[in-house]
Structure 1
Amino acid sequence: MKIYQTLIGGAWVDARGGDTFETHNPFTAQPWARIPRCGAQDVNRAVAAAKTAFESGAWASATPTMRGAMLRRPKSQPACRARSLRPCSNWAESRPTSSLQTPICPMR
């Protein structure tokens, strides 16, 4: 069974309380992954990390033009991760893989 973590502050971490939950494949009703059950502490950590990145990271000192360039970089585009996210989306939405061939967002 695949075990996932949460991305907070650029690092993949478990939920602070260590709790997880199983998600099931709707086609087979079998569990296929364990997902962190994040709570208020995790949300607070994520918000604090986002605030730090916004106020003191590369984003804070970037001009609007530089920020636009950062957002257009392929690594920052969700479409780049579409292939790795397909099983999650397919099973959650009961859709075949072929329906997710189109990128989530446009690549420039």
Structure 2
Amino acid sequence: MFKPKYPPDYTYTPPVTAYTTPPAPVNTDTTAPAPLAQPPVPMPIPQAPARPVVQLTPGSVATVVVGGTAVVLVVGVVLVSLLLAVAITAASVAVVAVVARAILNDSHKGR
């Protein structure tokens, strides 16, 4: 009941793949091959497209400097604000811990 049924071996056919090539015919002719009528023409090499030349003017340099400075300032403000948020949170947790400790100590002394 649980044994698989395999087909008999004589029904097996090997799969055909695209990579199999038929054997090359054997040349039994001993004469020299006929020369080609014209030599093969080499293929032309494609040329790379011409790239535009980047020209730096004083206005473009100033724009890049101002833009870079603005990016640095914005990233700095964001990082400082994140650090400040972490510091405020830590201070709040410390205050809550001190208040909770004082409440617990008072409740134990009152017994």
TM-score by length of 1: 0.26
Q: In proportion to residue count, which structure has more strand?
A: 1
Report 1 or 2 for greater relative contact order, CA contacts < 8 Å, sequence distance ≥ 6: 1
Alignment TM-score, normalising by the size of structure 2: 0.25
